[in-house]
Structure 1
């Protein structure tokens, strides 16, 4: 079983697109070296044959990231997974197990009834293309595509919600589903914050590396007493949205002990990103990240009163009343 981040109590849940199935409770995304999903990674049905059509036409909203209108399906849909890249992007390639940020619309083939879309909510979906995190058709249709792409695909029940359908969304077990997905961004274990470097002038605070190559930044602890109050300073300042106290975020992070500089937890070491709600973590994280911008790297120094105090997690290597030091890259707000 993959080790769970020490900071997470309950992984943030997703709505309509979340697949049913058992998992280990982790909210991490393992690194992928291949842009293609493997057949062995399916949640039940074998890997689909991918075909060009038939697919209904997009009749309005033809631009990338513009809400589309999609015609009703004509005739019988394919029993295979029909996929078409309507707009070919030129950004990074999406791999299975990546987190993607995307706008999307989903409707039923036979009726053109839209059962969900992110355009009206004005909030893109951020979700992992992983078994038990998303219906299988997304994993197969989107892996290998590039950011900036619009992908149209038709999902037979076997690679959607199966024979039980999704009653909440009005989807029957016999329904083929049509999706339009605009892939805005993709994140994996090699992702880094991309903000502007901020001077680290306080010699009494740890100095954090500013590399943006996806490798763990250095954290140099000064030979001085730990601060008694929370520190949350930019190392790299991004230009994205500010994170709210109730938001969920997707991050890279590294945690070390002030007293020894020893690493006790790291997404870099696990080769896995982590997502969580700021309502589900220690107070030092929730207070330290609230108000910070997406795309930033943040130094957080957490005194015991805002960390684990006299009750550190068993087996964590953290002693009682430890001051914790983190470098946190805020990759996305979920």
Structure 2
């Protein structure tokens, strides 16, 4: 069974991420499970948030432990029911943040589990913004703190609407029950965290090591660019290693070697980017594979692993350009 891929669309302006000639979108493929990432285009009003009713969590009651949830008793609220089951003391989640979370979703009336991340052993990485996630999650999780377990009952208005999600067995009248363990939150002030690594090679660009969420400096030497891919730690994090199959959440800036001109930056665009490594230029996928989450990486991409003679139209990238990036790996999925 193939689960719906998440967040593979590249935001406008992020021209350097998409691989040449690859405009396929896995989100159009059929899925036999539902996830809260499925956007519902609606003009639903902001919900009234109430305390309940909510079904009992009967097992798996610890944070980040797969829960077992009872069937709903009686009729669910027509409002959005939200309860903080475990109160964390971490960073407060703000709307439009990306969150990393484990979750389980089931139908109120039957207790049928239609999706959960615990069995996949891969937390969800998703942005809490309109059109990226169902409204129930957006409203219920904003203002909560990392380390919290949140339970919610989401009526159709703030879930999948009147159309439901037939492939997952969700009807347009179903209220959905979620348990969400919020592990981390990320925003445009997020940076790499770890141990600085010496940058001794004077023939390679030097990257700033500030971790205040501001764009690091990126100084290109007055020498010929390397012919082979360079992917070096600037700050080495202590997270899991990235694999070629992962989706990553990053902060980055990109320059052309020969001119030093910046052509793309999440800092300048004021938005993080999440993408699958299978959907980007080879220099990115090869350069980030094997690197640890939490790291800042210098990537120098020769033309044959970048765009060669076919740079994206309007990108400002010259034909045959060697590209230089500073990349902060914030999270992976």
Correspondence for 1:252:
251
Matches within 5 A, 1:92-241: 92-241=91-240
Question: In angstroms, what is the RMSD of aligned CA positions?
Answer: 1.5
Correspondence for 2:17:
8
**Superposed displacement of residue 327, structure 1:** 0.2
**Superposed displacement of residue 193, structure 1:** 1.1
Correspondence for 2:37:
18
**Contact preservation (8 Å) 1:108, 1:171:** yes
**Superposed displacement of residue 20, structure 1:** 3.9
**Contact preservation (8 Å) 1:12, 1:248:** no
Q: After superposition, what is the alpha-carbon deviation per residue over 1:22-78, rounded to whole angstroms, capped at 9, x for unaligned? A: 7xxxxxxxxxxxxxxxxxxxx421000001111111111111101111111111111
Task: Please state whether the residue corresponding to 1:295 is helix, strand or coil.
Answer: coil
Q: Distance in 2 between matches of 1:127 and 1:245?
A: 19
Q: Distance in 1 between matches of 2:147 and 2:174?
A: 29
Correspondence for 1:322:
321
Structure 1 residue 266 corresponds to structure 2 residue 285: no
Q: Distance in 1 between matches of 2:131 and 2:156?
A: 16
- Pair 1:160–1:275, CA change in 2 (3 A): same
Q: Distance in 2 between matches of 1:277 and 1:18?
A: 15
Q: Distance in 2 between matches of 1:87 and 1:190?
A: 26
**Superposed displacement of residue 16, structure 1:** 2.4
Aligned length: 313
**Superposed displacement of residue 185, structure 1:** 0.4
Task: Please state whether the residue corresponding to 1:75 is helix, strand or coil.
Answer: coil
**Contact preservation (8 Å) 1:146, 1:183:** yes
Q: Distance in 2 between matches of 1:291 and 1:191?
A: 21
**Superposed displacement of residue 12, structure 1:** 6.6
Q: TM-score, normalised by structure 2?
A: 0.91
Q: Distance in 2 between matches of 1:209 and 1:313?
A: 28
**Superposed displacement of residue 212, structure 1:** 0.8
**Contact preservation (8 Å) 1:12, 1:275:** no
Structure 1 residue 289 corresponds to structure 2 residue 288: yes
**Superposed displacement of residue 149, structure 1:** 0.4
Correspondence for 1:37:
none
